[in-house]
Amino acid sequence: MKQPKVTVLMPVYNGQRFLTEAIESILNQSFKDYEFLIINDGSKDKSEDIIKRYEQNDPRIRLISRPNKGLVATLNEGLAKAKGEYIARMDCDDISLKSRLKTEVEYLDSNLNVGLVGSNYSIIDEEGKYLVNTNVFTHPDDLKLCLVTCNQYGHGSVMIRKSVLKEVGDYDKSVGHLEDYDLWIRISHEAKVANIEQPLYKWRKTPDSITGANLELQIQQTFARRDREFEHFLKNKGQYRIFSIHPSGDDYGRRKSVLYRDLAYLYRAKDMRWRALKMLLLAIAFKPRVKRNYKYLILVFYKPWFHRWQFEFQ
């Protein structure tokens, strides 16, 4: 039997409210060569009934239903059972635009050195109302460097080359609520990573989302993983292009300025003030009228005021 080009992996836990929209957004994709692997992680609502209605009419759906094991265990089970050359993530309360799979497949087919591709995405509310589009870096050089400081991917928007997972491993439960950020970092050590400029995904903002419910804890865990990645960066600087210009999206200069300012912060935290100074000069070069850049020049040389330096998320 012919193996599918793509496995769309969607974990489900008590997702009945938005599940129909999520499933139909995949079934209505313009790209057809995929399997839809849905793992029902012990849902207590009507999620399983909803999935089974679609499973009866579409052979591309492969349902696994079992007791609850948690998100990371479910994701890793899905990675192990995926048959596709590429694995596309999907969350059960979000929406993939019709051209999403086709666009991401074409990108990976055309860029064999890229192991991970995502896209910009639209943030919607519980009723599906548009709120804002993201504005992430897209070029591999920018992304590899920016992953040192913060996550640049919407988890549900990504497509991963399955072969790269054999090199980096699966999701790591030990990192807490940022299993995705940790995996993207590890992939970036072995392959190029990219984003597509156009929004291909709709991410639904709800009070029950992990980000909203555990924001303080997630920030602590993110900073811990960031600091580990900065150590890797210091030991492997030759793998990174510190200065590069790849304009994308709105206000590219501002985003690059923030990136260099955050790198300056990390250097200064390590008492590497001359390197911090170089990063601030790059930040100024991209946004010379931002007063904060000049304010931090003082903090490079006077560390007792370092607590006034605010690390920023992109």
Q: Which residues pair with 123 in a beta bridge?
A: 132, 203
The pLDDT value recorded for residue 218 is 84
Identify the pLDDT of residue 75. Answer: 98
Q: What band does 100 get if pLDDT is binned at 50, 70 and 90?
A: very high
Kindly tell me if the per-residue pLDDT of 210 is higher than 90. no
Mean pLDDT (the chain) is 94
In this structure, of 167-176, 196-205, 301-310, the range with the lowest mean pLDDT score is 301-310
The pLDDT tens digits for 57-74 are 999 999 999 999 999 999
Per-residue pLDDT of 101-113, as tens digits, reads 999 999 999 999 9
pTM for the predicted model, two decimal places: 0.94
Q: For the chain, give every domain's residue range.
A: 6-228, 229-308
- Beta-sheet strands, E only, within the chain: 6-12, 34-41, 61-66, 86-89, 95-96, 114-124, 130-133, 159-161, 192-204
Is the pLDDT at 24 greater than 70? The verdict is yes
pLDDT higher than threshold 60 for residue 185: yes
Binned at pLDDT 50, 70 and 90, residue 166 comes out as very high
Looking at residue 215, what is its pLDDT?
78
300 pLDDT tier (thresholds 50, 70, 90): confident
Where is average pLDDT lowest: 40-49, 213-222, 267-276?
A: 213-222
SS in 3 state form for 172-237?
CHHHCCCHHHHHHHHHHHHCEEEEEEEEEEEEECCCCCHHHHCHHHHHHHHHHHHHHHHHHHHHCH
Asked whether residue 37 carries a pLDDT value surpassing 70, the answer given is yes
Kindly state the percentage of the chain with pLDDT values over 70: 97
* pLDDT tens digits, one per residue of 116-136: 999 999 999 999 999 999 999
pLDDT digit string (tens) for 254-274? 999 999 999 999 999 999 999
pLDDT of residue 209: 63
Q: What is each CA distance from 187 to 90, 91, 110, 137, 285, in whole angstroms?
A: 19, 21, 18, 16, 30
The CATH topology of domain 6-228 is Spore Coat Polysaccharide Biosynthesis Protein SpsA; Chain A (3.90.550)
- Asked if pLDDT for residue 81 goes beyond 90, the answer is yes
- Pick the more confident residue, 216 or 65: 65
pLDDT at residue 306 in the model: 74
- The pLDDT value recorded for residue 268 is 93
